[in-house]
Amino acid sequence: MTAAPLLQVRDLSVLFPARRGAPPVRAVERLSFEIAPGQTLGLVGQSGSGKTTAGRAILQLQKASGGSVRLLGQELTTMPAGALRRMRRHMQFVLQNPYSSLHPRMTIGQILSEPLQVHRSVPANRVRERVEELLELVNLDPTMMRRYPHEFSGGQRQRVVIARALAVNPDFVVCDEPVSALDVRTQAQIVALLQSLQEKLGLSYLFIAHDLAIVREMAHRVAVMFRGRIVEMGSADQVYDSPAHPYTRLLLDAVPVPDPRLQRERLRQAPPDLRFLEGDGGACVHGVDHEGAGTPEWHEVAEGHGVSCRYWPAGSSPAG
């Protein structure tokens, strides 16, 4: 029997209102996906595609304009403030820049104690013991709890951020570009740590990144975002080995390859025709007539592998 999804997102939209004469911006539009217990969905796309806004809206850190977000069967978008605060122990956030997300005047012990005290997840006499457990969980020496963030390397600070996210035993963690600020060797270590923690604790991740190689390493399923919408979604193997949307192929072709000959061949190829991304109507790549349709149609190209049309309806292309 298939386990019920831990997270269900349906038609999630985020609209930023008009400001100073600028038109409103549809940062996220009608996102729908599910994440099973113990699984990772990789959310990829270029900067400005709406990935971070989507993650914040799922965690209710950014107000959604429409749609539904259900975590553990509970609807988050209409949940009262008190109940949402209690629900936050089940969902946590790992940010891109570990230094900016750690208070510079608090010791690591104080930083890790804070969520324990806010959520009262352990008795007061066990807080120090729990902090030591968290540091060991992310492969840091418990004696480091007396140090301040500036005394750590970038990789160590990110381990502290991960430990803080795990302090209240969450079920779901949004990882927003968690390794992009780190060097390649440290990136591999943090990815291995996240995978180990997922296996050990049964965590579910939404892993947001623009580095496609890391996403393939981390994710069971991958969703590709362009201008606020998901244009392709499937298993990691389906999306990487058989990309069905031209935008996905563009992202994959932009990844450097270690073979100089193959890289030169790529550079000699004509750039892809992306005029469909700004289209104002007409036939889609699948031969379906969508004249007057409100949104791009979704096609299953294989079991569990879906792709949108090349078509954006007239006048409705989401803002970049």
Please give the Cα distance from 14 to 60 (Å, whole number): 11
93: left (phi over 0), alpha (psi -120 to 50) or beta: beta
Task: Give just the sign of the alpha carbon dihedral 62, 171, 204, 160.
Answer: positive
pLDDT in tens, 49-103: 999 999 999 999 999 999 999 999 999 999 999 999 999 999 999 988 888 889 9
Please give the Cα distance from 31 to 229 (Å, whole number): 6
Judge contact between 11 and 229, C-beta under 8 A. no
pTM: 0.87
pLDDT in tens, 111-143: 999 999 998 889 999 999 999 999 999 999 999
How much is the pLDDT for 17? 87
Compute the average pLDDT of residues 11-37: 90
**Helices within the chain (DSSP H only):** 51-58, 81-87, 108-119, 127-137, 154-166, 184-201, 212-218, 236-241, 246-253, 260-268
CA 60 distance to own-chain centroid? 14
pLDDT in tens, 206-227: 999 988 889 999 999 999 998 8
Q: Give the Å distances, CA to CA, from 17 to 95, 229, 308.
A: 25, 18, 26
Domain boundaries, the chain: 246-320
How much is the pLDDT for 317? 38
**42: nearest Cα among 202, 269, 232:** 232
How much is the pLDDT for 47? 86
How much is the pLDDT for 291? 55
Burial class of residue 264 in the structure, from the number of CB atoms within 10 Å of its CB (0-12 exposed, 13-18 middle, 19+ buried): exposed
Report phi then psi at 72, rounded to 5. 55, 35
pLDDT in tens, 256-270: 666 677 666 666 665
Please give the Cα distance from 278 to 14 (Å, whole number): 21
